[in-house]
Amino acid sequence: AQSVTQPDIHITVSEGASLELRCNYSYGATPYLFWYVQSPGQGLQLLLKYFSGDTLVQGIKGFEAEFKRSQSSFNLRKPSVHWSDAAEYFCAVGPNGPGGKLIFGQGTELSVKP
Amino acid sequence: EAGVTQFPSHSVIEKGQTVTLRCDPISGHDNLYWYRRVMGKEIKFLLHFVKESKQDESGMPNNRFLAERTGGTYSTLKVQPAELEDSGVYFCASSQGRGLAGYNEQFFGPGTRLTVL
C-alpha cells in the first residue's frame, strides 16, 4: 500500500538551531516527493520537490531535503531555524507522471523557542 | 495573480444538514483536486477534475458527497446529509495542464474548516 510516515507529530527547536524533519514513504514505483508547509490561516505552500537526479534538493526559505532510495526517506533539513518557520510541515508523494493525487503524511508541527 | 480561493473559510452545521463548499482555482488551471484532513490524521485525496470531467474520484468517502465543476472553472463539494465524521478541513488545489516533464505543481487554497455538531 502507498503511504507516507512522518514519525514526529510535534517538534520544538530553539531559534538558530538546526532542524531535521523525518519522512519515510512506501510506494510501488519511483515517486515524486514533496515537502509542503502550512502556516496558520494559509494554504499549503510547496517548499521543495524531488523528481530525479541529484538526491539533495534545495527549496525555498533555506530548506533542503535529501532523497535516500535505500531508506525510502526524504528528510527535510534547515541549518538554522527562524521564529517564522513555526508551522506545520507535510511530506507527500505523487505519481511519476502528469497530474495525479498526492499522498500525505500526518504532518509535523514545528514550534520555535526564542 | 490570485491564488486558489475557497469559500467559506469556516462552516458550522448540525448533523443532517447540507453544506456546499466552493473552490475557485487559479485561472487557466485545468486540474482541480479536493482533499480532506480529519483532525489528527493525514490529508487525504478525495477527487480530481480535469476541466469539467472527473478524472479520479476514488477518494470520495460515500454517496453523501457530490462534487461538480461546471464549465471547468470553479468547483463545489456538497455534503448531504452531513454526519459528525465529516468534520475536518477541506482543501482544494489546482494545477496547470501537462507541464515540464509532465509534472504539474499543485497550488493549495487555505481550506474550509467544517464542523458538524
Q: Give pLDDT tens digits for B47-58.
A: 999 999 999 999
Q: Which of B38, B43, B50 to mutate to test the interface with A (most CBs of A within 10 A)?
A: B43
Please give the residue of chain A at the shortest CA–CA distance from B96.
A99
What pLDDT sits at residue A30? 77
pLDDT category, B78, cuts 50, 70, 90?
very high
Cell numbers linked to B88: 475536518
Range in A96-100, A107-111, B16-20, B37-41 with the lowest mean pLDDT:
A96-100
What's the rounded Cα separation, in Å, for the pair A86 and A113? 9
Residue B51: which region, alpha, beta or left (left: phi > 0; alpha: psi -120 to 50)? left
Q: Is the pLDDT of residue B14 over 60?
A: yes
Q: What is the mean pLDDT of chain B?
A: 91
Contact A84, B89 (CB under 8 A): no
Option in B95, B102, B110 nearest A41 (CB): B110
Largest CA distance in chain A: 42
Q: How far is B10 from chain A (nearest CA, A)?
A: 11
Percent of chain A with pLDDT over 90: 78
What pLDDT sits at residue A42? 85
What pLDDT sits at residue A97? 63
Please give the residue of chain B at the shortest CA–CA distance from A44.
B108
B4: helix, coil or strand? coil
Q: Which of B10, B29, B42, B44 to mutate to test the interface with A (most CBs of A within 10 A)?
A: B42
Q: Is the pLDDT of residue A113 over 60?
A: yes
Among A50-59, A67-76, B89-98, the range of highest mean pLDDT? A67-76
Q: How far is B45 from chain A (nearest CA, A)?
A: 6
What pLDDT sits at residue A100? 80
Question: Cα B117–B34–A20 angle (5° rounding)?
Answer: 95
Q: Is the pLDDT of residue A28 over 90?
A: no
Residue type, A42: Q
What pLDDT sits at residue B66? 97
What's the rounded Cα separation, in Å, for the pair A29 and A33? 12
Q: Is the pLDDT of residue B33 over 70?
A: yes
Range in A25-29, A93-97, A107-111 with the lowest mean pLDDT:
A93-97
Option in A102, A103, A107 nearest B106 (CB): A102
